[in-house]
Amino acid sequence: MYKLVHLEIVTAVQPDRPPASSGLPDSEVLVVACFEGEQPAADALPEDVRRTVENAVAKRAFSGREKQCVEASGVGTPVSAVAVHGLGKRTELDARKMAAWCDRVVESLRTNDVERAVIALPDCPETRGPASAERICRRLSLAGYRFDQYREEARTSPVRLREIALVPPPGESDLYREMLGVGRAVARGVAFTRDLANSPANVADPEWMEQRARELARDAGMEVTVVGPDELEERGMGGILAVGKGSSRPPRLVRLAWGQEGPTVALVGKGVTFDTGGISLKPPARLDEMKYDKSGACTVLGIGRAVADLALPIRLRIYLPLAENMPDGAAYRPGDIIRCYGGRSIEIMNTDAEGRLLLADAMALAAEEQPDALLELSTLTGACVVALGHHGAGLYSPDDELADGLLAAASDGGERLWRLPLWKEFVEEMQGTHADLKNTGGRWGGANLAAAFLSQFVGELDRWAHLDIAGPAQIPKENNGSQGATGYGVALIVHWLRSLVS
């Protein structure tokens, strides 16, 4: 469903070379960056192009502020026009502002129906080094992404932007060529995740998710195992069964296995294909966004695709607990007591705290197989969104080394992650009255209580982490019409996996 922009890396040229030997490919637009109060980053461009850039800036009172842009046409071979985009103050540039600059450039190219463009990057810390190169290559590769297969205009007016040639800072071209493959693989995983998460619930039910997992397994050479309702009952996986009881679309657990060497890493992703809240029905406002409650499952599938594309030497095990949380005569109720995999009983206080029940079964199974590390990703709590907004995810882990590694990987991948506490008091608050545990606690610290609940289903495994991605997994509808899944977490975890095996 997705289409990545073709990206190539070209070497910067010297201004004393004639235009014919510039090395720049033919394009409709050359994009040049400019820091506020500085001259455009055009020193390495052909002399005639550089003069055009400088004249355009001089004539338009251009200062290089963020979101400021000036254009000039009639440049001639090898480019037809130049566009100078402001970066703001050099001292204030960080990875997020660099990503936003890339997005603004791409949006301008798309708005003007540009098919081929050249982007000359500025020379600064945010464009140098392998992490920066991967982030930029990934961002630009995703420039063509749109979830538009249900729109008539997508067939009549397709996106024209197909090719971007990237001019890295001096001396960085070989590094960018090396990291292009990584960035493209991560971009493919991100786009795959977005497509899955954006798909509507009348299409993307548990069976549909199973089929997408099977297709990935076939393409990537993974083993696939599916545990249906009867076997879920035989195995005592009462959490997945309880959540799916009210739906006409049966729940299931999908397990994928990839790789024959290296450390074993288990990935668990929450896959509630639609969440009404069950008997504890959600209010109507923003209920349409509950199709994104499967984002954890979509993310771990996207990670699996990227890992296979990169052929990382790792044993990856992916677990997808899949269910639709609906209210009907068969639905589970507040006050019910269920038993999850491994035998722990849970008193249901609220049927809208359903994700942790699916994860309890899946995490207990994953931990039983004794991986070297277990990572779980889920859109688990609104409380984490209250704490961190849509800007970052919450991280919970009892292992300092694992937590530090994930935080470093988030920084390299350009994704925000914040560690939150797993204090013993939170576990105590989740003790049940008539069962071992209850699925909700008090009013305060809801994200922490949910993480404490999950900590009871990893057995003796210490090297595990829970990532609450409820905030950054999707852009809310009030964000100027750009609502949709982000693919958050794919870059973060792939960066961590690469560091694990490097």
The two tokens of residue 234 are 């035989």
The answer, yes or no, to whether the previous bond of 284 is cis (omega within 30 of 0) is no
Catalytic residue among 60, 282, 315, 463: 282
Who's near 418: CB < 8 A, 6+ residues apart? 388, 392, 393, 394, 395
Contact 246, 332 (CB under 8 A): yes
Strands annotated E in 89-143:
116-120
The DSSP code sequence of 218-258 is: HHHT-EEEEE-HHHHHHHT-HHHHHHHTTSSS--EEEEEEE
282 is catalytic: yes
Q: Which is it for the CA torsion 479, 485, 487, 488, positive or negative? A: positive
Q: State how far Cα 206 lies from the chain centre.
A: 21
The tokens 């309890």 sit on which residue? 360
- Smallest CA-to-CA distance from 422 within 446, 404, 386, 398 is with 398
Which phi and psi angles does 382 have, rounded to 5°? -65, -25
| 148 class by beta-carbon count within 10 Å (0-12 exposed, 13-18 middle, 19+ buried) | middle
Pairwise CA distance, residues 131 & 502, whole Å: 14
The two tokens of residue 432 are 């049940």
- The rounded radius of gyration (Å) of the Cα atoms in the chain is 24
The DSSP code sequence of 130-167 is: HHHHHHHHHHHHGGG----TT-HHHHHS-----EEEEE
Please state, in angstroms and as integers, the Cα–Cα distance from residue 16 to each residue in 45, 55, 499, following that order. 9, 19, 41
Catalytic residue among 188, 194, 356, 416: 356
The tokens 């406002």 sit on which residue? 285
DSSP character at residue 26: P
The DSSP code sequence of 438-454 is: ES---SS-HHHHHHHHH
Contact 86, 66 (CB under 8 A): yes
The two tokens of residue 472 are 């950054």
3-state secondary structure (DSSP) of residue 341: coil
Contact 363, 450 (CB under 8 A): no
Pairwise CA distance, residues 371 & 18, whole Å: 59
DSSP character at residue 60: T
State the catalytic residues.
282, 356
